[in-house]
Amino acid sequence: MKPAANIYLIGLMGVGKTTIGKQLARALQWPFYDSDRVIEECTGVDIPTIFSYEGEEGFRMREQTVIHHLSALQGIVMATGGGAVLMPENRTALKENGFVVYLHCSIDKILHRTKHDTQRPLLRTDNPRQRLQTLLAQRDPLYTECADFKIDSGVLPTKTVVKTILQQYQAALEDHDRIASCTK
Ligand SMILES: Nc1ncnc2c1ncn2[C@@H]1O[C@H](COP(=O)(O)OP(=O)(O)O)[C@@H](O)[C@H]1O
Ligand SMILES: O=C(O)C1=C[C@@H](OP(=O)(O)O)[C@@H](O)[C@H](O)C1
Ligand SMILES: [Mg+2]
């Protein structure tokens, strides 16, 4: 992690990146950005409409552009979409510019949280459990590669998750300062 004052949230759909991200930003009094919301604001349509016109490939290109721009900002909390880590450029941008938090929870919990969802095209399948299992198998190594810190967002109260992330972020900043103050 650079000394950059940014916190980025990664992890599978439904783990709570958007929810926790908003609370972190409120606690820090920093601006909050959600890459999905920025894409929707730019295009004027929702994520399922982008997928239907441009496919996942078109969505990924838009997501990469947004993450590229947002990662140039300082002092922000950003919730990414669950598939943001698929693009190597995004992984580099996240790792280089902020403290990356990998939120995870059980597939059962994700299914419960997203059972009435209409905004996640990748879950519009006959077998969302199977889809989530496949996505997790593909993406877990990428989330792990990017992450400075991993926390279960399915068991602990949201408030505790937020507090723990803030403590870890602070500790990482202090480590960074300690190393930087000691000449090689
Ligand atoms: N800690 C939590 N406890 C209960 N429900 C939650 C929690 N975190 C998120 N949710 C709910 O789960 C759903 C998905 O959360 P969201 O923050 O959108 O996840 P993500 O951005 O990772 O896809 C939302 O309906 C949200 O209200
Ligand atoms: O996992 C994915 O590939 C996606 C996750 C979604 O964001 P959330 O993780 O916030 O649901 C959104 O970016 C899009 O539907 C694709
Ligand atoms: Mg989200």
Over the stretch 139-181, which tens digit does the pLDDT of each residue have? 999 999 999 999 999 999 999 999 999 999 999 998 888 888 8
pLDDT-derived band at 2, boundaries 50, 70, 90 = low
Ligand nearest to the CA of residue 57, numbered in listed order: 2
Q: Is 81 annotated as a binding residue?
A: no
Question: Do 149 and 165 form a contact (C-beta atoms < 8 A)?
Answer: yes
Q: How many helices and strands (H and E) does the chain possess?
A: 7, 5
Stated pTM of the model: 0.97
Residue ranges near ligand 3 (ion) with Cβ within 5 Å = 17-18
Amino acid at the residue 117: D
Give CA–CA dist 164/170, Å, rounded.
10
Q: pLDDT tens for residues 11-39?
A: 999 999 999 999 999 999 999 999 999 99
| CB of 16 sitting under 6 A from ligand 2 | no
Query: Which of 1-5, 55-59, 72-76 shows the lowest per-residue confidence on average (mean pLDDT)?
Result: 1-5
Give CA–CA dist 132/128, Å, rounded.
6
Beta sheet of 6-10, edge-to-edge order:
32-34, 76-79, 6-10, 99-104, 149-152
Ligand nearest to the CA of residue 156, numbered in listed order: 1
Helices 47-70 and 35-43 meet at what angle, rounded to 10?
110
The CATH number of 6-180 is which of 1.10.600.10, 1.20.1440.230, 3.40.50.300, 3.40.50.2000? 3.40.50.300
Query: How many other C-beta atoms are found inside a 10 Å radius of the C-beta of residue 141?
Result: 10
Q: Is 15 annotated as a binding residue?
A: yes
Amino acid at the residue 37: R
pLDDT-derived band at 9, boundaries 50, 70, 90 = very high
Q: pLDDT tens for residues 64-98?
A: 999 999 999 999 999 999 999 999 999 999 999 99
pLDDT-derived band at 3, boundaries 50, 70, 90 = low
Per-residue pLDDT at 32: 98
CA 1 to centroid of ligand 3, rounded, Å? 23
- Cβ neighbours of residue 7 closer than 8 Å, sequence gap 6 or more: 21, 24, 28, 76, 77, 78, 98, 99, 101, 165, 169
